[in-house]
Amino acid sequence: MVVLGLGRFGKSLALELMSQGTEVLGIDSSDAVVQKVAHRLTHAVVADTTDEESLRQLSVHEYGRAVVGIGSDLEASLLTASALINLGVHNIWA
C-alpha cells in the first residue's frame, strides 16, 4: 500500500496498516514529516507527490492500492490522484 501525504490522517492510516501487517510506502514532501515516521514504516521517502515521474521512479505503479492523504492542499490532492491514474494505479482512495 502507498500512502501519499503523511499528515495526521495519512500517518495514522499508515501506522495502522503497519500494525495489521501491511507493507507501507509513505511519501510526503516534508523531510521533517518523513523523518518522524521513517523508522515505523516499511519505506518512507521525501518526494513531490504531484510529479508523475517521481512517482514512477518510486515504482508507485507496482502497488495495488494507494491512499491520497493530502487534506491541506486540494490542488495537490487532485494532481496526485491524477498522477496515480496516469500511472495505472487502479485502487485509489482519496
Q: What is the pLDDT of residues 8-40, one digit of tens each?
A: 999 999 999 999 999 999 999 999 999 999 999
pLDDT at 21: 96
Instruction: Quote the CA–CA distance of 57 and 32 in Å, as a whole number.
Output: 22
pLDDT band for position 77 (50/70/90)? very high
Res 44 pLDDT > 90: yes
pLDDT at 64: 84
pLDDT band for position 72 (50/70/90)? confident
- Domain of 24? 2-93
* Count of beta carbons in the 10 Å neighbourhood of residue 84: 25
CATH number of the domain that residue 70 is part of: 3.40.50.720
Question: Into how many domains does the chain fold?
Answer: 1
